[in-house]
Structures are given as C-alpha cells and as structure tokens.
Structure 1
Amino acid sequence: MPLFINRDQIFAHQVHLLEHKLRSKEERILELETENAILHLRLADCLVKLRHDHEEETKAMNHHHQHQRQAQNETRAGLTKLLSGVQEVKQDLSEVFGVYVSFAAELEEQSKQLLEKVEQASSSMKGHSGDEVQDLQARVAALERSLEEEKERCRTERQRRQELHNTVVELRGNIRVHCRVRPVLSFDHVQSSTSGSGPASSEEVVYAISDDTVMVNCLKPGMPVQNKMFEFERVHGPEDSQDTVFEEVKPLITSLLDGYNVCIMAYGQTGSGKTHTMMGSHSSDVSSTVEQEAQQGVIPQAAAELFRLISEKPAGSHTVEVSVMEVYNNDVYDLLAKDGQGNQRRDVITTSSGTSQVPSLTHEPVGSASEVMQIISSILKLRAHCPTLVHTESSRSHLIVTLTISSKSPNALALARRLQSAKKDMQRSPQKEWWSPRCRRADLTARYPSDELLASSASSPCPSPCLSPCPSPRPSISQAPFRTKLQLVDLAGSECVGMSGVTGAALWEVSCINRSLSALSDVLGALAEQRPHIPYRNSKLTHLLQDAIGGDAKLLVMLCVSPTQRYVTESLQSLGLGTRARQVQKELPRRKSNTLKVK
C-alpha cells in the first residue's frame, strides 16, 4: 500500500519550526542589545571616571610642578643671600686679618721696646748696691708684720667687745637679737606691677655691712636715697653658712645644762628663710648626705650639741623629753597626740607661780639627736601649709619644739649615798642610839681618833654624817631633779594679702597669723616701756611663750629678712621689731637648782 505524505502538514510543521527559531533569534537579539546597552553605560561611567582621574592627576602634577618651582625659587633666593653673606664675611675676615697684622706688628715692636727697657732696668739694678734692695725688702716685711699684728689686735678687740657686750646683755636681762639676710632667690625676679619709673622689685636694698650692722637703702621715686642702719648682737650675710649661724647659738645650749631655760625664736616675713634657718634643707638624694649635714638648721644642730654635752656628763644624770605644739588660727594643738593623729587641741593656763603651762601635753622620751629629728620629721607633714604667690610652701602656723631636760646633781647623789650609808652603820651599831642633839663626846672620842675629828670639823661646821653618833630622825633621803626647757620656735611668716594673693579660708589664716605677730610686737613694746600690764593673753602664742618672752629664760630672736626691694616694707617691719626687742630689760635669768628632800 503506497505511503501517503501530506505536504501541507510537512510545510506547516517546517514553518512552525522556523517561526520558533525566529522567535528564539529575536529574543537572543534583545538580550544582546540589552547587554550592549549595559556595556555602553559601563563604558560611559569608565570614561567619566578616567576623565575625572586624568583631571585630578593633571591638577596634582600642576600643583607639584608649581611647588617645585616655588621651592627652587626659594632655594635660589636663599643661596643668593648666603652667597652675599659669605662675601661679606670674607670681606670682614680680610679686614680683621689686616687689623691683626697691624696689631701683631705693633705688639712685636712694643715687646722689643719692653725687652730693651727690662735690660736697661736690670743693668741699672746691677749698678746699685745690694744693701739698698735688702733694706727695702726688710721695710716691706716689717710693714707686713705690723699690718698682720694690727689685724690680729683689731680682731681680738672686736671679739672682746662682743663678749663684753654679751655679758652686759646677760646681766641686764635683755633679749639677744641676731639678724640673717638671705641671698636673692629665683622667686624674687618677678615683674613689678607698679609703674616703670619706680625701682625694680628684684633690686637688692638690704645689706649686712658688718658683723653687727644692717643697712637698708630706702628707694623712693623722685627722692634721694636714705640709708637706715640697724644694730644687733650678730648679723649674718647671705654668704654665711648654717654652721656659722649655729656657732653663735651654741653657748645657749651650754647654759641650758647649767640650769637656765632657753628659747630660740625665728621671726620674719614669708619666704625670708625662717624654716631653712631652724630646720635646714632636706634632699631626697641619698648620695648628698654630706650636703644635707651641711644644710642642717638650728633645731637638728641644737639637738646634736645637747646630746653631745650630755654624753660628757655622768651616765643617767640627764633625761630628755620632746614635745611639739602648733599654734594654728589662735588655737594650740599637740602634734604628738596619738589618739587624735596629731590634731588634739590644748589649753594654756597660768600657774600660781605665774608661769604658763599646757595641761595634758604629750612628752616623748628621747635618747639621741636622731630620735628627736625622726619624731619632728614624722609630724612636720601635720603642720598647716598653703601655697601663696610669695612662697609655694608657706607655713600657716607657729611651730614650737620643746626639749625638756631633767637633771640630777652628781654631788647631791654622792651626799645622799653617804647619808644612807651612815644610817646603815648606825643601825648595825650595838650601842644605844641618842636622838638628842647633845651627844656623848667621850663615846665619840673613844670611837674615832682626834685627828679624824679635827679633819672633819675643819672641812665642815659639823662632823661628817659617817662620824656623828646621833642618827638622823628622818631615815630616807630622796632627790627631786630640776627641769630646764629648750624652746625652738619657727613662727609663721607675716605677709600682705595683696602680695600673697590668698582668697577664701586662707584669709582667716593670714588674719590670725598677723594678729598673733602683732600681739607679740605689743608685748615687746610693753616690756620695753615697762608698762604695769603686759598683754600676754591677747594671743595664744604670747600666752604660751610668756615664760620665754618676759620670764627668766634666755631668749634669742633670729630675724630673717629678704634683701630685695619687693619686700622692703616687711623687712623694715621685722628690723623694727628686733630693735624694740633689744630694748626689753627682762628679769635676770635665774639658774634652776635641785633640792634635797629628806623624808
């Protein structure tokens, strides 16, 4: 059977396939066109970025070239200046060389002339006789010896005058006043707030012109210079060391063991060197031990001298106690009180004998100068301090260090031992004891030879206790030690509120300090004028130091003054107080004595 093929179906099928392929091709063409459009967009973005980068690179290159051109121009200008400077230096060097050559020629000519003159002089000297030369040399030697003798005689007379003056001061009971002028320090060089026509604030106007005289140049604009002189027992200049200052204080330590109360007080304005004079300078560098010892003040050196003198006495004859007080805002604080960490307030009372006393004051027994300084160093941080424009470590309180010495007389101890041994001998004696003052002479003569009795009666109005047949009706003998005090006072500095720049609570501190120092000045004025009433109780400071200021203690006031024009007003005030203190005639210093108490 023949196969029948429908051509129309085949054609239709082929047409359908071709249409399908055509649609596929068209879809592919659309996809490619879309991709082409996207690529065109990307190309456009890349072209924009390339154009922008090219522009920035061009700008950077232009800026770099401009900077290079500017640097090259500056370098050329610098080289041109340098070249001109080198040329000027060469010209100057040529001129200097010419001057040098001329000077060298003149020097050589003058040296030749001098050599000729020396030769002529030597030849003329050879012509003279040697006796004349020896005579001239002998005269020169004689003049030098006489000059040395006059210097030694002047030194001896000055020392003798000073000793006689100190003796008169001690006999009259006057207050000793020493003055110390500190050197110019870094904080003295400040810009003056006054007009430029006045004197500079750092100009030195206070001078120690001799061992006992201070001169102050009073400089005022439009006025002639006025020199004021102040005389004291001793004046120390800026060149005097701490040891030199203490050498003048050392005799008072000897008086302390002789039975006299002693007080050493440092007075002056803020920053004048009071704490440096009393305590010294302390460095944290361990290697500078020798320098620290050289910078020790009056307090450590006085403690060392005290224990040195005690070491020369019999063992156990002296004991020392230390107490430290602070007068802050007109209140007395015990810095050694352990229960209040050094912040215990104390009262000052006047005893029936007229002396001042601080009840419940803490006393620490000490056995060496190092123990004293350890105690003082440990409590110095408790002292009130406040930085001011004048001084960064300005003390805002008065510090009082007291060393109390209890002494026993070795002669009294020997007498007590002799009396006690006599009592034991009489107790061991088998014969009858006679309590009547009338003793049996025959029995006494029989027991002791006449020579021994004569020797005993010649040395004493009554027989020796060991030879007396009549025992004492009081069986025991005890000795009461006598006590002397060494008071070392570092006063707070007087200052002007406008100069110190303090504000707030510090104003009350300054007010209390100035009032207490004013009270001290009033007390000295009243004592100098011998008024019937002395205002000791106007301040806790004067009440506490009543025994030293107006009592029978040996008082030394160490005036510390600044040398510059900036503090001339405060310096004149301090020197004026020292002058008033010298006019005070106190009671004669009384020596403390021990008494034998027979029970």
Structure 2
Amino acid sequence: MGRGLPGSISGGVKRRGLPGAAKEERIVVLETENAALHLKLAEYQGLAGRSTSEVLQLYSAHGQQQKLQRTSVVTQLHGTVKRLKQDLKRLRSFVLELSKDFQRQSKTYLYQILTAVQGIQLENEAMQMFQIKAFDLEQSLQEVTERYEKEKQKRRALHNSLVELRGNIRVHCRIRPLLPFDAASGHSISEDRQRNFPEKVAYAADDETVLIKCSRPGHASINRTFQFERVYNALESQDIVFADVAPLLTSLLDGYNVCIMAYGQTGSGKTYTMLGPQLEENFAFSIEDESELGIIPRATQEVFRLLSEKPPGSYWVEVSVVEVYNNEIFDLLAKDNYGKVFGVKREVVTTREGKSDVPLLMHETVENAAEFLHLVNKGVQLRVRHPTLVHAHSSRSHLVVTLTINTIISGDNFGTSWEDEQTSQRLNKEVSCTFPQKMRENKSTSSSRASSPTQLEATEKLKKVKTRLQLVDLAGSECVGMSGVTGAALRETSYINRSLSALADVLGAIAEQRSHVPYRNSKLTHLLQDSLGGDAKLLVMLCISPDQKYLTESMQTLGFGTRARQVQRGQLKKKNFPVPSKAK
C-alpha cells in the first residue's frame, strides 16, 4: 500500500505536465517523506504493542497486588479473630472467677446481714424493754412528782398556817436577771469590783432556797444558802410572782389588813416588781403590756374583781398615795388651789388607840381599777428621782400606796352570809340613805370624815369596817462608793439608809419581843406601824441582783430578810367582818 503511493503521486505529476527535474526531486522528497512515515508507523505500531503488553502486565500486577492485599487482610483478620478468641477465653475465665468470688462474698455478706438483722431484732427487743421500763419510770416519776408537789403544797399550807398563827412575816426573794448596765463600771467603783463582764453569784437553788456562791482572788470563798417562803429565779415572770401574792388579797376581803413591801438595793428590780415597766419620758408606769404589770396594778384589778361579788352599794374604795422623802411625808394626791396635783407635806401621829394616822391625808374615792391606777400613776410621776452610777432613774423616796375598803354592814347581822338577799336589800337601802353625797358622786374625801347627828341616828344600827391594803415600794439601800452620789443626792442616800436601818431595828425589836419598839425613829416606820406591829399580814419581797459586783448589798438584803422572817407577832387580828362566801 505504501509502495504504491509514490507511483500514484508521480503519475499525477506527469499528468499535470511538471518539468522532468522538478518531478524527480519531488518524487525523491515524497519517497523520503513516505519512508519517514513508514518508520513512524512502525514505531507507533511497536509502541502500541508494547503499551498493550505493559497494560496487560500492569493489570496482571494490579490483580496480583489486590490478591496479595486481600490475602494480607484475611491474614490480619484471622490474627485478630485469634486474638479476640484468646481475649474472650481469658474474659470467660475472669468472669467465671469473678462469679465464684461474688458468690463467696455474697454468702459472706448474706451471713453478716442475717447476723446484723438478728442483732437488730435483739436490740429492738431490748429497746422495747427499755422503753417499757422508761415509761414505767416516767410514770413512777410523775406519780412521785405529783405526790411531792401535793406534799409540798400541804407542807406550804401548814407552814403558812404556822406563819399566820405566829404572826410571822412572809418573806419572798426575787433574783433579777443580769442586765446590760451590769457590765458598765462607774468611776467610783474599786478596781476589784470593776469588770467588763458581770459574773453571777446569786442563784435560786430551788423555789425556797437562795444560793450565794462566790470565789474571788484574795477573798474568802462564800457558799451560803438562805431559806424563804418563796424564791423566784431570773426567768420567772410577773404572773408567777403575783400568783403567790393573790391569796393575801382574799384575806383582805376576809377582814385582815395586808401590807406588801419591796426591799432591796437600788437597781435590784423593786419598782419593776411592784409597778412594772416605767416610761422614761415621764416616769409613769406602762399598763399597755399586761404580762409586764407589777403587783400594784394586778392587786388592784384582783381586789375589784373580788369586790364585784359583793352586793352593790355595800362598800366603797379609797386610795391614797404618799412618799417618804428625806424623813418627811408628802401627800402626792393633794391639790393646790387650782386643782393641780401637788405634793404637800403631812405629819404622822399616833391616835389614842395606838394606831398611826396622817391627818388631812387626801383619800380619793374610786369605783374601778382604772381610776385607781390613774391616781397612782399621777402620784408616781411626782416621786423624787435622781440618777446614780447604779441606776439612771433611782427612786429617792419610799412610795406607799394604800387601798382602803370601807364596808357598811348591819350591826345585827355580823357573821351572816353575803348571799342573804333580804340582808343585802336592807343594807343597800340603808347605805344609799347614809353614804355621804360625795361618795355617791365619786369625789375626793378627807380621812377625817364626820356625820351629822341625824345621820348618826339613822345609822346607829350600821357598822363601818375598814380593811386596808398597803403597797410599799421602798427606796433602794445604797453604798455611797458604789452609787457615786454627791451633794443633795448624798443627803438623800443618808436619809434612805437611816430609814431602812430604822425598819430593821423595828423588826429586830419585835423579834426580840422588847417592851419598846422604836417606831418613831423614822417617819417610814411610824407610818407603817400598824402593818409592822401585827395588825396586818405582811409580805416582804426581797429583790437582789445576781452580779458579783453587788455581792455585799445582796448579802445585806438577804440578812434583812432572814431577820424579818424570824419575827413572831402573835396571831393576827381579824376585823369583825362577815366573810363573802363567793370569795372563799
């Protein structure tokens, strides 16, 4: 095919009529080109054959490689499976061993649990037995406690009967709590008494015993007890204190005079016990919080409650308020020409019957407790006060509040019951005709009452019986070095201490049954002569501070109470007075 190409070309050249030399040259060129093309064709054919072979070789090599790779993967998989089988075998062996160990431990724990359960059951049984025993002991303790309380009440009742038969003075003691001002030290207090933190030395060992326990460096240790009819600890409230006072008020309506006085050092809680909390801006006592009310407002309310059981119109109540200041008596209800309350000096005298009396003393008639307390509050605001290092509002006078019950009864019916309706009607009619007009209008009256001859004839069959309740808030005994007072306050302190000393002397003379009792050594004892000398049931409320700083003053107060408790005045006098059956 290739060989025929030049001929065809040359034939074509001839037909075209090219020149001879040029044709030859053209033929040579073409033949040369043809040869070159044949060479290239052969070369390309060779290359094509070799490429096919190489491709086959490459394909064959790739297949072998894939085969080798598959073989390698299978080999690796076989190795992995073998290893996994070995691991599984080891795992099965481990699980088997673990299961055996778990079974062994489970048996051990189960045994321990069973043992513990049995132990708990035994303990529960023992606990139940103990609970039964504890319950029995609690019941026994409760029964013993109830019997003890009953026996204590019986013993106290017998003791009170003995006290009444002997005419002894009842003595109660109240220990106040530590207060913020106890931590403050005054500049006049000696170094051994100055401390930043108060230390308690006075305790209520029980409801009848005060324990003084103190140990100071350089001083002898003190461990003493004092016995009284009742001892109140720092946590006992005003309600509890009054609960022991209330029975005396029934005695008041049974025909006995009653006197309750608070004795103790300045700042020991006397005024709080007797009146309750005081408002600092005007020194009036607060009656808003009834739980904080003291003995005076509570006693007034109780007296009027008891009086409400009497026939209306058969009695009237009077109040007087005096203070003893610098050994002088001042009437705190006396008024000036403009009707303003103004303290007026009064004198105390002894009547022909041997009784103490204050002529011209103002007695205000009151119809209820609110009126009574209103007048007492007026008098309290006039009371002299002066700040000291011990107490910022220290009372510098003795306050004596007197509630007098005037009862009109028929002379033919002494000892009859107040429940007798006919007697009550007759008494009401007679009293309504004979009571002074000022009484019915609730006006002020003087202690020196007088009746006209006509009234005396109309009331010759009537008897007027007076019973008196005296409530006394004594000024506080003081150590001058402790209180730090000077000038006029020092003079006040001197009078206070002398009057309290006179009170102790009177009680000492009565206790020793001396022929002469020095009532007139002080206006205070002269004023309280009837109460101290045996004409009244007398309760002394000792008030002490638990702080070691006031140890000397507390010991003096407890000593006073101990001496007062030893006083025997004989059987008390009872007014010829019918006993209200409802008051029993």
Q: Which residue of 1 aligns with 2:204?
A: 208
Say yes or no: does 1:247 pair with 2:246. Answer: no
Structure 2 contact 165–570 (Cα < 8 Å) conserved: no
Q: In the superposition, relative to structure 1, how do residues 118 and 527 fare at CA in structure 2: closer, same or farther (>3 Å)?
A: farther
Change (3 A) 1:196 1:214: closer
Contact 1:215 1:230 in 2 (8 A): yes
Matched, 1:235 2:231: yes
> Secondary structure at the residue paired with 1:208?
strand
For the structure 1 residues 121 and 563, does the alpha-carbon distance in structure 2 shift closer, same or farther, using more than 3 Å as the test? farther
Q: Which residue matches 2:52?
A: none
Counting only pairs closer than 5 Å after superposition, residues 142-541 of structure 1 correspond to structure 2 as: 142-191=136-185, 193-195=189-191, 202-223=198-219, 225-282=221-278, 292-339=289-336, 341-409=341-409, 411=413, 414=422, 478-541=461-524
Query: Which letter does structure 2 place at the counterpart of 1:292?
Result: D
Residue 563 (structure 2) aligns with: 580
Q: Counterparts of 1:376 and 1:183 in 2: how far apart (Å)?
A: 27
* SS class of match (1:166): helix
Aligned residue type for 2:365:
P
TM-aligned CA deviation for residue 223 of structure 1: 4.5
Q: For residue 231 of structure 1, what is the amino acid of its counterpart?
A: Q
Aligned counterparts, 1:67-82, within 5 A: none
Deviation at 1:348, TM superposition (A): 0.7
SS at structure 2 position matched to 1:249: helix
Cα deviation, residue 219, structure 1: 3.2
Which range moved further: 145-154 or 185-194? 185-194
Question: How has the CA–CA distance of structure 1 residues 225 and 407 changed in structure 2, closer, same or farther, with 3 Å as cutoff?
Answer: same
Shift of 1:225: 2.3
Deviations 1:363-412 (A, max 9, x none): 00011111111111122221100011110100000000000001234856
The Cα shift of 1:342 comes to 2.3
Q: Which amino acid aligns with 2:309?
A: E
**Partner of 1:568: helix, strand, or coil?**
helix
C-alpha displacement of 1:317: 2.1
Displacement of 1:479? 0.6
Residue segments in structure 1 that go unaligned for 5+ positions in a row: 1-114, 422-473
5+ residue gaps in structure 2? 1-108, 415-419, 430-456, 579-584
Measured after TM superposition, the shift of residue 121 of structure 1 is 6.6
Q: Residue type matched to 1:300 in 2?
A: P
Structure 1 residue identity aligned to 2:302: E
SS at 1:481 equivalent: strand
Corresponding residue of 1:550: 533
For 2:539 and 2:489, locate their aligned partners in 1 and report how far apart those are by CA, in whole Å. 30
Separation (CA, whole Å) in 1 of partners of 2:459 and 2:288: 54
> Structure 1 pair 418/283, CA: closer, same or farther in 2 (3 Å)?
closer
- Show CA shifts across 1:533-562 (max 9, x none): 110000000000000011321000000011
> For residues 351 and 152 of structure 1, do their structure 2 counterparts lie closer, same or farther at Cα, with a shift above 3 Å needed?
same
Code of the aligned partner of 1:363: H
How much does 1:194 deviate?
Answer: 4.0
Matches for 1:75-90 after TM superposition, within 5 Å: none
SS in structure 2 of the partner of residue 187 of structure 1? helix
Determine which structure has more spread, i.e. the larger CA radius of gyration.
2
**Structure 1 residue matching 2:379: 3-state secondary structure:** helix
Q: For the Cα contact (< 8 Å) 1:561–1:571, is it kept in 2?
A: yes
Partner of 2:105 in structure 1? Answer: none
Match of 1:123 in 2: 117
Classify the secondary structure of the residue corresponding to 1:248. Answer: helix
Deviations 1:17-49 (A, max 9, x none): xxxxxxxxxxxxxxxxxxxxxxxxxxxxxxxxx
Letter in 2 for 1:188: D
Secondary structure at the aligned position of 2:177 is classed as: coil
Distance 1:406 1:116 in 2: 90
* Local SS of the residue matching 1:392: coil
Offset, 1:122: 5.0
Per the alignment, do residues 403 and 290 of structure 1 end up closer, same or farther by CA in structure 2, a change over 3 Å counting? closer
Aligned to 2:62: none
> 1:306-352, CA deviations, whole angstroms, 9 ceiling, x for partnerless residues?
00001122212221000001111101111111127422111111111
Is the contact between residue 270 and residue 493 of structure 1 (CA under 8 Å) also seen in structure 2? yes
TM-score by length of 1: 0.66
Q: Distance in 2 between matches of 1:121 and 1:326?
A: 82
Q: Deviations over 1:230-258 (max 9, x none)?
A: 10000011001001000000001000000
- Using the alignment, how far apart are the partners of 1:509 and 1:476 within structure 2? 48
Structure 2 counterparts to residues 31-110 of structure 1, below 5 A = none
Q: CA–CA distance in 1 between the matches of 2:192 and 2:350?
A: 54
Distance 1:118 1:372 in 2: 80
Q: Tell me the amino acid that sits aligned with residue 390 of structure 2.
A: V
Check the 8 A contact 2:185/2:194 in 1, yes or no.
Answer: no
Aligned to 1:433: none
Letter in 1 for 2:290: E
- TM-score of the two chains, using structure 2 as the length reference: 0.68
CA distance in 2, matches of 1:515, 1:521: 10
* Cα pair 1:197 1:221 within 8 Å, conserved: no
Q: Offset at 1:477?
A: 5.5
For residue 539 of structure 2, give the secondary structure of its aligned residue in structure 1.
Answer: strand
1:140 to 122, 134, 138: 134
SS at 1:159 equivalent: helix
Map 1:555-574 → 2, pairs under 5 A = 555-574=538-557
Structure 1 vs Structure 2: percent identity of aligned residues?
55
Q: For the Cα contact (< 8 Å) 1:408–1:594, is it kept in 2?
A: no
Structure-2 change in CA distance of 1:330 and 1:130 (3 Å): closer
Residue pair 2:400, 2:472 contacting (<8 A) in 1 also: yes
**Preserved CA contact (<8 Å) 1:260 1:590:** yes
SS across alignment from 1:551: helix
- What residue identity is the alignment partner of 1:489? V
Q: For residues 175-206 of structure 1, give each alpha carbon's deviation from its aligned partner in whole angstroms, at most 9, with x where no partner exists.
A: 00000000001111034854469987721101
CA distance 1:199–1:309, change in 2 (3 Å): same
**CA 1:398–1:150 in structure 2 vs 1: closer, same or farther (change >3 Å)?**
same
Q: In structure 2, give the amino acid aligned to 1:305.
A: E
Partner Cα distance (2:458, 2:370) in 1: 42
8 Å contact kept, 1:213–1:229: yes
CA distance in 2, matches of 1:403, 1:117: 84
Letter of the structure 2 residue corresponding to residue 515 of structure 1: R
